[in-house]
Amino acid sequence: ASTIHLADYTVPGWLVDGVHLTVRLAPHATRVLSRIAFRPNPDSPPVPFTLHGEDLRLIHAAIDGQPVTPVVTPTGLTCDTPRSAFVWEAEVEIAPAANTALEGLYMSNGIYCTQCEAEGFRKITYYPDRPDVMAVFTVRIEGDTPVLLSNGDPVAQGPGWAEWHDPWPKPAYLFALVAGDLVAHSDSFTTLDGRCVALNLWVRAADLDKCEFGMGALKRAMAWDERVYGLAYDLSVFNIVAVDDFNMGAMENKGLNIFNASAVLASPETSTDADFRRIEAIIAHEYFHNWTGNRITCRDWFQLCLKEGLTVFRDQQFTGDLHGHAVKRIEDALVMRNRQFQEDAGPLAHPVRPDRFVEINNFYTVTVYEKGAELVGMLKRLVGDDGWRAGMDLYVARHDGHAATIEDWLAAFQDATGRDLTQFMRWYEQAGTPRLTVTDDYADGIYRLHIAQTTRATPDQPDKPPLHIPVAIGLLDDTGAEVVPTTLLEVTEAQQTFTFDGLSARPVPSILRDFSAPVIVNRTVDAAERAFLLAHDTDPFNRWDAGRNLARDMALRLIRTGGGAPDPGYLAGLRATLTDDTLDPAFRALVLTLPADNDLTIALALDGTVPDPDLIHRVREDIRGAIACDLTDILPDLYAAQQVTAPYAPDASQAGRRRLGNAVLMLLSLTDDGAAAQAQFDAATNMTQSLAALGALLSVGRGAAAAQAFHDRWQHDRLVMNKWLAIQIAMAPPEQAVAITDALTRHPAFDWGNPNRFRSVLGTLAAHPAGFHRADGSGYALLADWLIRLDPVNPQTTARMVSAFDGLGRFDAGRQVAMRTALARIRQAPALSRDTTEMVNRLLR
Ligand code: HT7
Ligand code: ZN
């Protein structure tokens, strides 16, 4: 398969003035009739007429009403055409019931649905399937299902047919069609410009009781985008559909969002607080794409972060505004540190705007999404709040209705604010996590911070020029008062010194406040200073980070020395934080959470130590045990104080208390043999309490009866059964994780063609560091077996999960050999997909 390069971009040779589709639905022989008005692009030299098309059976084609015989290949067709505007007509046949890849038009539990991003429309009909070709679509659906939906506004309908018209020009990746036996939970929303929008959440009848929260989230998102950005919805109807089989979380098709059922359906009995939060964020994210993605789309797929980074940033702002910024910022930083830094440090590292790909589906990554959002956040810090809004307004005004690039994006901010963003552009082009080495000195009332930046080489990028890094800092005196409030330092050189004068004593610096840049800070800080910041920092992010750094330094020391007792200073700091009732319980729960195995693995690897997953796991467990013993006098009361007696609500206040209570429950279980967890499990009236109790019981080997009871109660609920499968693996002792996973793949509930199910089982194993990285290679072998099986059925999900092997270069020789053996086996699988081939090749290069 060939590599596509950003540098080779050329404008489309032909533009589309309008698309009429007629889709005659039948599971094995759907007919798609297209009538498309083409005209030559005045900005392009004359080029042959080519259309994308895959897995299509061409029945007939015509130009201006005259039959033509195109040259058809496995990836499309070419045809002789007039040099001026013409109307193309084609009829093709496709088989949605046979489409297990879940791209194009497919069937999920009897419901017809589509997934066209990135390049799925070409599996529906012949078309210039590239995001810079935008067109107005009119769609007629014929089928014998009660509900027939497409993008835009409904035009007309009758028995067995419906017509839709989307007045907003869009690229083909935003096309959608849904047909099936669905019912709607309906509501309405009046926009700031007075438009009354009908809102529908379409589900199977049995799921109607799980729609209320999602509908509320949609309305909150619509109001937020109006209030914060002045952006209002632009059609008469907004439809959301829940489907069971979906490769990702959801899709922002214009006016017809399609959701993985797990990302929209919610009820207190079946969903955890974390599910509610995730669902609200995804609904908001897809809704926000209506402007950042749909009205303004990407010129080409290299610009994916233009819509995804910006829209993630917007959904993060939304969640922060609704539920509190401090906890949200910590959670977002954890995603960066636990997942994105790992991607950036391994063989799959790529820039936020990649410059080459084989299969674009492989670039829907934590780097493009979450690091992309961090770049947007840094930009906002650099231009300030007013500059941010001015830049956004200019970006929207300039590019509404068009396909844009990252250059366009930065130009809007440069022009709106006068800031030179030339160096900032490097963030989009340069892979890898920058490391800041910070030292300081103080003399004669003058305090100096010296900051040096370096970024290690990544695949294809040996040299890394310096980046423009916003580093927010504050300086505290020895009482914890701020002598210099939060100040933004702009680091642009490889080495820089920042001077603060007029200080009467050496201050305590608080560096990288609010995680102002996605970087690693290297600074030698003793435990006393960290404990001081944990007690006093006025920046909540850095206060939490001080506690995490205390835990991390200790864990790394214990790993390096092979074990030992935790620091009394850390335990004292933890005790003080946990018992400080002025602090948000969710914040306290985060302070109690130890650094993840991944985080410690990366830290060791960056320092040249070969990480041992078993040892890392053991040290973390030892620390947990020591915390449970040391805090044994406060844990029962702390747990009791978090119990909520009011009726369940997934709000920040209740959820924060449950989060802290459940974190404490995990510790209590270590000392009471699971008694408190069993009591909570027996009394639980919501999924948050029930699942947490089950997890705590499983973690101490007392979960068999509860797991059985949970199964018996929920075996008919497919979303809850995903949790049941996953928690048994997540909580398994490392030496049993592979065997438990293997056993669950034989359980009748394991319908492996469903991506949610597959991820719940094999994805959970891959995310269990000490379970997956067994020294005998059994974790790698089991995952490889299943990926080989899944690839011919669903290449996209297979390829995404191959990234579990991206620790390849990090571990000891034995594990490396075992990983390479597993990857080589995958590579040799007959007819391996382009998606998976690219991932394996990148891992093995
Ligand atoms: N923009 C959507 C991405 C997506 C997707 C991409 C490739 C294959 C399947 C997919 N399903 C959804 C979702 C989003 O980021 O908003
Ligand atoms: Zn998105």
By residue range, what is the domain housing residue 773? Answer: 715-845
Any domain includes 635: no
Q: Which amino acid is at 343?
A: E
Is there a contact between 208 and 174 (Cβ–Cβ < 8 Å)?
no
The answer on 323 and 289 residing in a single domain is: no
Which sign, positive or negative, has the C-alpha torsion 402, 406, 411, 413?
positive
Place 607 in a pLDDT band, splitting at 50, 70 and 90.
Answer: confident
Ligand 1: residue whose CA is nearest its atom 15:
308
Q: CB within 6 Å of ligand 1 — which residues?
A: 115, 117-118, 247-248, 250-252, 285-286, 289, 308, 361, 364, 796
The answer on 343 and 230 residing in a single domain is: no
The answer on 104 and 68 residing in a single domain is: yes
Does the active-site annotation cover 286?
yes
Q: Which of 270, 297, 324 is the last residue of a domain?
A: 297
The answer on 378 and 262 residing in a single domain is: no
The number of CA neighbours under 13 Å toward the Cβ of 822 is 26
Here the tokens at position 568 are 């009394």
pLDDT of residue 564 exceeding 90, the answer is no
The answer on 167 and 29 residing in a single domain is: yes
Is there a contact between 63 and 79 (Cβ–Cβ < 8 Å)?
yes
* Residue 699: count of CB within 10 angstroms of its CB: 22
The answer on 270 and 415 residing in a single domain is: no
Here the tokens at position 793 are 């059925």
Residue whose pair of structure tokens reads 């979960």 in the numeric block:
703
Any domain includes 258: yes
- For 631-684, what is each residue's pLDDT tens digit? 999 999 999 999 999 999 999 999 999 999 999 999 999 999 999 999 999 999
Cα of 312 from ligand 2 centre, angstroms:
7
Number of domains in the chain: 3
CA dist 324 and 656 (Å) reads: 11
* Average pLDDT of the residues in 520-544: 97
The answer on 284 and 315 residing in a single domain is: no
Q: Are strands 135-142 and 14-24 parallel, antiparallel or unpaired?
A: parallel
Q: Which of 378, 411, 429 is the last residue of a domain?
A: 429
CA dist 779 and 742 (Å) reads: 10
Q: Are strands 508-511 and 469-476 parallel, antiparallel or unpaired?
A: antiparallel
Here the tokens at position 450 are 């010296």
Q: Which of 367, 395, 429 is the last residue of a domain?
A: 429
680: left (phi over 0), alpha (psi -120 to 50) or beta: alpha
Any domain includes 501: no
Average predicted confidence (pLDDT) for the chain: 98
pLDDT of residue 1 exceeding 80, the answer is no
Is there a contact between 475 and 486 (Cβ–Cβ < 8 Å)?
no
- CATH number, domain with residue 72: 2.60.40.1730
- CATH number, domain with residue 332: 1.10.390.10
CA 814 → CA 396, 572, 773, 818, distances in Å?
53, 40, 11, 6
- For 284-335, what is each residue's pLDDT tens digit? 999 999 999 999 999 999 999 999 999 999 999 999 999 999 999 999 999 9
pLDDT at res. 59: 98
> ipTM value of the model?
0.98
The answer on 374 and 286 residing in a single domain is: no
The answer on 152 and 267 residing in a single domain is: yes
In 3D space, the residue among 248, 218, 247, 245 whose CA is nearest the CA of residue 233 turns out to be: 218
CA dist 594 and 620 (Å) reads: 8
Cα of 256 from ligand 2 centre, angstroms:
14
Q: 317: which residues sit within 8 A by CB, 6+ positions away?
A: 228
The answer on 780 and 816 residing in a single domain is: yes
The answer on 228 and 95 residing in a single domain is: yes
Here the tokens at position 144 are 């014998």
Any domain includes 449: no
Any domain includes 290: yes
Query: What is the best residue among 253, 254, 262, 364 to mutate for testing ligand 1's pocket, by most ligand atoms within 8 Å of CB?
Result: 364
The CA-to-CA distance between both ends of the chain, in Å, stands at: 16
Percent residues over pLDDT 90 in the chain: 98
Residue 11's SS3 state is coil
Ligand 1: residue whose CA is nearest its atom 6:
117
The answer on 203 and 115 residing in a single domain is: yes
* Residue 739: count of CB within 10 angstroms of its CB: 13
pTM over the 0.95 mark = yes
- CATH number, domain with residue 772: 1.25.50.10
According to DSSP, the residues that pair with 498 across neighbouring strands are 449
pLDDT at res. 563: 86
Any domain includes 568: no
Any domain includes 617: no
Any domain includes 128: yes
Cα of 97 from ligand 2 centre, angstroms:
27
Is there a contact between 210 and 273 (Cβ–Cβ < 8 Å)?
no
